[in-house]
Structure 1
Amino acid sequence: MKQFLPLALLFLLLITGCSEDPPAAATPDEAVGAEFAELLENYQEARLQLNPLEATYLGDDRYNDRMPNLLSQDYKAESRGFYQDFLRRLGGINRRALDPTDQVSYDVLEWELNMALQGADFATELLPLDQFSGIHLAFGQLASGEGAQPFRTVEDYDNWLARVDDFATMMDTARVNLERGAAKGYVLPRALALKLLPQLESLAAEPLEDHLFYSPATMIPDTFPTEERERLQGAFRGMVGQRIIPLFTNLTQYVRDEYLPQTRESSGIAEIPRGKAYYDYLIKLYTTTDMSAEEIHELGLSEVARLRSEMEKVKQEVGFEGDLQAFFDYVRTKPELMPFDSPDEVIANFNDIYDRMKPQLEKLFNKVPKTEFEVRRTEAFREASASAEYNPGSQDGSRPGIFYVPIPKVEEYNTFSDEDLFLHEAIPGHHYQISLTQENEALPDFRRNLWYSAYGEGWALYCESLGKELGLYEDPYQYFGMLSAEMHRAIRLVVDTGIHSKGWSREQAIQYSLENEAESEASIIAEIERYMAIPGQALSYKVGQLKILELRARAEAELGNDFDIRAFHDLVLEGGCLPLNVLERKVDEWIEAA
């Protein structure tokens, strides 16, 4: 998965859908186009000021010294006013006078603003922390000195110290909001609070010099003047020892002693006030469709049945004589699939996969990102609850895209789905899609960094099906890994809707997963708890993948020998993230023109 999700939930910037196109003017009006271009430029600039952490992730360093209190009522009111103002200004633009590309941008901006306003109606600030998407995790990555926050100059270090002051204020508000939420029935499931607790404890731990937030002080460049190095080291000792450790010590004590006894035994978001309406909103947000929870649940059951049939064929190919459930256990525990003794070997294996597939990439893609790419191990402080994920590079390409791999117990690390995982998280999945969009100067700036989960995760899941075309999946266990990963996403349709709309328990969802996929029990538990923490996001993968597969099949059938897979991939990727109905319209117009 792309790693912007925690921030997207806090900023309410993800969007859905697209309005139907009214008839366009025969000749676009240049003056209206210029007015619209100015509006988009103003919107992007104002949005980055409202969300300075997003600017940092894009490589824009202008706001690296600040962090608004995302959990405060003042920020919520300011955000609402921002969206309302730009929606009003957008309404003053004559859409019909724009060219086709600008009309798409108009629709995207309109729905971004509308969905953000709808999202602002829910009291999400009363559930400010969880084990998967809490702001403490995003800041922990930045605090490590190896994330998006730069630490190259004295100013960089001072910027971070100022930003940490704002972060500490926000964490104080998180404590207040937890209390307010508990009084109103907005509380985490007990299982999630239990996973949050060790994260908070790790940020309260001493000695100071080993603390995550002290890490940049150990990397101060030797080129800094001596007095500056000493000043910064003293400032970091004060920041960690006098603010961060006491803050997380108090927060840990509150969560353990007061909050945990008030948590709920239920698993689904429907159990909080207005929970059903919130889940309906999240379905639309993440799938960019009007599908209901029931429709998605039934689609998931159908896909699980289809994939079980395909898995049976692999089981027969390798000569396993037990049933499919026994084969899952066999794959989970097969010693030959757990060959590594050190995390470095895991990273090296992914780099080897990349080397093997490189020669085939040009057969499927005309365009290759300029942004560099790396594989890294997930940081220790969040590794136990993390999934593999992709962290985008900066827009200017100066910071690479990073594929993070959690390796909590290397001796138990199973390789059977590594080829598939690389295709999804790295190349040509998230790295190609996100980097090519960021590098596309033909798009307005705000569209170069949008994220529609159905498109982005749908594309990444679609890329998993390209393995044989890229020279992979020659080992039947790796092909089974691809089927297992697709099964994993099909199961998500069942369990996410089961948990959040049908009253399923955490244990019921875990059992259903164990019965239908070969993931380890520990991995499945982490995944189910992820769905509990970010309802609806897990639905986007399969919904998006099935739409892209449908569009490719349609193009192949209509164009026959004239179908060019590279041109199709260019078409899908060129417009950046789009709602699925907009993507479908683009492909249909391309087919008709061809």
Structure 2
Amino acid sequence: MKKLLLGFAAGLLLTHAANAQSATGNPQLATLLNEYYETSARLDPLSATFRGDARYNDQLPIDFTDSYRAENRRTWQGFLAQLRAIDRTQLPPADQLNYDVLRYDLLMQIERLSLPENQIVFTQFSGLPQSLALLGSGASAQPFKTVADYDNWLKRASVFPAWSDSALVYFRKGIASGMVMPKVLVEKLVPQLNALVATDISKSTFYKPVAQFPEGISDADRQRLTAAFTSLIQEKLNPSYRKLAQFFQTEYLPSARATAGYGALPGGKKMYDFRVKQFTTTNLSADAIFNLGQKEVARIRHEMEAVKKQVGFTGSLKEFFAYMRTDPKFYPYKDAEGILNYYRSITPRIQPMLARMFNKVPKTPFEVRQVEAFRAATAAAHYFAGSLEQGRPGIFYVPILDAAKTQSRESLFLHEAIPGHHYQISLQYENEALPKFRRYGFSTAYMEGWGLYAESLGKELGVYTDPYQYMLALGDEMHRAIRLVVDAGMHARGWTREQAIQYSLDNEPIEEQRAVSEIERYMAYAGQALSYKMGELKIKELRARYQKQLGSKFNLAAFHDALLMDGALPLDILERKMDAWAKAQLK
């Protein structure tokens, strides 16, 4: 998938291609960029839906099969050949940037499709079974506004039995080859799947769209659609989820592995090396990233010691972590609404400084919501992008299993919401000057690097005035530094799950339940967790460089605007672009 998790983080409306203006001056390149985007949407209709492109809302390809992947790979190789036929040196700077990003995307996709990652079709952390439930609930990107919308969904969801049967074939291939998930992840996956089997059809998450029809749908259509949804759930979805759960419980679990990392898989080193490159957009080795992570952990620990001293805590840093994890004063909430209201109060507090740090801000509205119950146990806080055209706000989703055991963090809001992902993603999606494949594209290191950089702006924005909130912010930064160590540790150095959990507990103020959930996320989604810190370090490096180079000519708002204006870029391409910007500021 390309990636459904990122679809959650980046859902948005797409204007139909026929109505879109080309954002490049070279006709040959403009045609290629448009064809690339259109082909991507056709081959990956779920991602198109998450972007809001309704043309493929009735389609559900079985996209993990060897034949489907081979078709994709041949397609992207053809695009790469066409791109190489264009003389980059004859292009203007904006088109050179388009050229570079497309070349990077194609090379990464071609390499990814050569790896046997399709023998683990989905995990407890992300995949179609979870995203199908989110789409079918009516609370996500799949629209349920017209009769055609409902019929599109019925057609799409009716493919799920064939999709899930094919998934079983590939999971069994994985069992035969040794390409299997860790046992602890499978144990989390089984109850997820069982939870989506509804004995009372009217209480199924898939029944919600017909339990709350929009105005304008006739009584006859309501009756037909209600019957069709009931039949879909009863005859196709329930049996498929039940079959998957039983397979994992009885057949897959006994073959699952006890190890944590990709290094234990056949060809695992090659797979992890690719994922390091994919998610960091650098050529650094896993060992180099592991060592960098250890240095960052040491630096942040020193800052944490200073905060501990400031508040007068006389015990060790680990005891201070335990104190912040257990003292009731850090858990003031009685219900979920109290936590959500706390996060809603942050925007007006930081608004005066935001106006000084950003010249251009999103027009897309914004909301804070609680994560739905069916996925709250395994979901992290995340951002789901909105759409001006659809009137859909950007949403900061907060998972709350038990309000009395949940801490609120200013840094989390800055990262996921404002000025983090809501600013970065919304400004990119609102920028009609970008070609569509970039307007709706992503680079994890850039996006998550921006989110973590946004956390670092807390004191400049007027928050982190409470030392305990600053300690939690340091804890969040430490969390991303730890990721460099534990992700590379598990997947490249043979660390166990328990080693990684303990390393987290020893170095950050984190609840054990969250530490376990995070480590299991890295086990399932290798390499992605590296992107945050690597992206943040690059953005901070660029800011420091230009402040030194430009002196009094450096303007923070202009820097932020330039950083965000061209959307998510691989870090080396971003650096070249920003170096050119800095040179222009000197003239």
Does TM, scored on the shorter chain, surpass 0.5?
A: yes
Distance 2:158 2:211 in 1: 20
Alpha carbons of 1:395 and 1:585: their partners in 2 closer, same or farther (altered >3 Å)? farther
Q: Deviations for 1:86-129, whole angstroms, at most 9, x for unmatched residues?
A: 11221222212211111111111112111101000111111012
Q: Which moved more, 1:338-347 or 1:486-495?
A: 338-347
How does the TM-score come out when normalised to structure 2?
Answer: 0.95
Match for residue 95 of structure 2? 102
Q: What is the aligned length?
A: 571
| SS of equivalent residue, structure 1 residue 40 | helix
Q: Which moved more, 1:520-529 or 1:551-560?
A: 551-560
Q: Which moved more, 1:354-363 or 1:194-203?
A: 354-363
Distance 1:423 1:268 in 2: 31
Q: 2:406 aligns with which of 399, 407, 413?
A: 413
Alpha carbons of 1:31 and 1:509: their partners in 2 closer, same or farther (altered >3 Å)? closer
Match for residue 147 of structure 1? 140
1:530 paired with 2:516, answer no
Match for residue 129 of structure 1? 122
In structure 2, stretches of 5+ residues that fail to align are: 10-22
Distance 2:153 2:317 in 1: 52
1:66 paired with 2:59, answer yes
| SS of equivalent residue, structure 1 residue 542 | helix
Match for residue 394 of structure 2? 401
Match for residue 115 of structure 1? 108
| SS of equivalent residue, structure 1 residue 414 | coil
1:252 paired with 2:265, answer no
Q: Deviations for 1:367-416, whole angstroms, at most 9, x for unmatched residues?
A: 1111111111111111111111111223746322111110011110112x
1:466 paired with 2:450, answer no
Distance 1:93 1:228 in 2: 52
Q: Deviations for 1:494-526, whole angstroms, at most 9, x for unmatched residues?
A: 000000000000000000000000010000000
Q: 1:196 aligns with which of 181, 186, 189?
A: 189
| SS of equivalent residue, structure 1 residue 547 | helix
Q: 2:279 aligns with which of 276, 286, 298?
A: 286
Q: 2:379 aligns with which of 383, 386, 403?
A: 386
The equivalences for 1:261-276 within 5 A come to: 261-276=254-269
Paired letter, 1:294: D
Match for residue 484 of structure 1? 475
Distance 2:25 2:579 in 1: 28
Match for residue 40 of structure 1? 33
Distance 2:340 2:174 in 1: 41
Q: 1:582 aligns with which of 546, 551, 573?
A: 573
1:513 paired with 2:477, answer no
1:546 paired with 2:548, answer no
Match for residue 75 of structure 2? 82
1:453 paired with 2:444, answer yes
- What is the CA distance between 1:204 and its match in structure 2? 1.9
1:228 paired with 2:221, answer yes
Q: Is the 8 A contact 1:424 1:461 kept in 2?
A: yes
Match for residue 5 of structure 1? 5
Q: Deviations for 1:162-221, whole angstroms, at most 9, x for unmatched residues?
A: 110123321221122111111111110001101111101101232111111111111112
Distance 1:351 1:586 in 2: 35
Q: Deviations for 1:52-93, whole angstroms, at most 9, x for unmatched residues?
A: 112211222111111111122332122112212211221222
Alpha carbons of 1:259 and 1:7: their partners in 2 closer, same or farther (altered >3 Å)? farther
Alpha carbons of 1:38 and 1:428: their partners in 2 closer, same or farther (altered >3 Å)? same
Q: 1:360 aligns with which of 340, 353, 356?
A: 353
Distance 1:582 1:184 in 2: 38
Q: Is the 8 A contact 1:371 1:397 kept in 2?
A: no
Distance 1:80 1:588 in 2: 34
In structure 1, stretches of 5+ residues that fail to align are: 10-29
Q: 1:53 aligns with which of 46, 50, 57?
A: 46
- What is the CA distance between 1:4 and its match in structure 2? 4.8
Distance 1:483 1:121 in 2: 39
Paired letter, 2:431: N
- What is the CA distance between 1:586 and its match in structure 2? 2.0
Q: Is the 8 A contact 2:46 2:60 kept in 1?
A: yes
Alpha carbons of 1:3 and 1:107: their partners in 2 closer, same or farther (altered >3 Å)? closer
Distance 1:291 1:362 in 2: 37
- What is the CA distance between 1:471 and its match in structure 2? 1.4
Q: Which moved more, 1:229-238 or 1:576-585?
A: 576-585
1:175 paired with 2:168, answer yes
Paired letter, 2:5: L
| SS of equivalent residue, structure 1 residue 374 | strand
Match for residue 556 of structure 1? 547
Distance 1:365 1:32 in 2: 29
Match for residue 15 of structure 2? none
Distance 1:566 1:451 in 2: 23
Paired letter, 1:81: R
Q: Between the two proteins, what is the percent identity of the paired residues? A: 49
Alpha carbons of 1:486 and 1:472: their partners in 2 closer, same or farther (altered >3 Å)? same
Q: Is the 8 A contact 1:58 1:395 kept in 2?
A: no
Q: Is the 8 A contact 2:279 2:530 kept in 1?
A: yes
Match for residue 427 of structure 2? 436
Match for residue 84 of structure 2? 91
How does the TM-score come out when normalised to structure 1?
Answer: 0.94
Q: 1:345 aligns with which of 330, 338, 345?
A: 338
| SS of equivalent residue, structure 1 residue 390 | strand
Q: Which runs of 4+ in 1 moved over 3 A?
A: 2-9, 394-397
Distance 1:247 1:523 in 2: 30
Q: Is the 8 A contact 1:131 1:193 kept in 2?
A: yes
| SS of equivalent residue, structure 1 residue 375 | strand
| SS of equivalent residue, structure 1 residue 402 | strand
Paired letter, 1:509: A
Paired letter, 1:444: P
Distance 2:330 2:399 in 1: 17
| SS of equivalent residue, structure 1 residue 69 | coil
| SS of equivalent residue, structure 2 residue 457 | coil
Q: Is the 8 A contact 2:482 2:504 kept in 1?
A: yes
Distance 1:180 1:7 in 2: 27
Paired letter, 2:550: L
Q: Is the 8 A contact 2:24 2:435 kept in 1?
A: no
Paired letter, 1:366: N
Q: Deviations for 1:234-290, whole angstroms, at most 9, x for unmatched residues?
A: 000000011111111111111101110110000001111110000000000001111
Paired letter, 1:40: L
